[in-house]
Amino acid sequence: MPDVDIDPFFDAVAQGVEEAILNAMVANEDMSGRDGNFVPALPKAWLKDRFG
């Protein structure tokens, strides 16, 4: 199959992966892990105001 015919599929996969990563980043909550490690969630109100 020629590369020209496959390019749209690669583009679609890349866009799907990008969307999944962004969704995971926005949908997350505060997390506490091993040895007391803490990672706060992204501030959803700030994101909404900024990127709305």
The reported pTM is 0.62
Q: What is the pLDDT of residue 1?
A: 78
Tally Cβ neighbours within 10 Å of residue 39.
10
- The answer to whether 39 and 31 are in contact (CB under 8 A) is yes
Q: What is the pLDDT of residue 25?
A: 87
The token pair that represents 36 in the structure block = 């007391």
Nearest CA-CA partner of 30 in 39, 43, 22, 21? 39
Q: What is the pLDDT of residue 52?
A: 77
Q: What is the pLDDT of residue 4?
A: 82
Q: What is the pLDDT of residue 5?
A: 87
Mean pLDDT, consecutive 10-residue stretches, the chain (52 aa), reads 87 96 91 95 89 80
For residue 15, give the DSSP letter. Answer: H
Q: Which residue has the tokens 């199959």?
A: 1
Distance in angstroms (rounded) separating the CA atoms of residues 38 and 52: 27
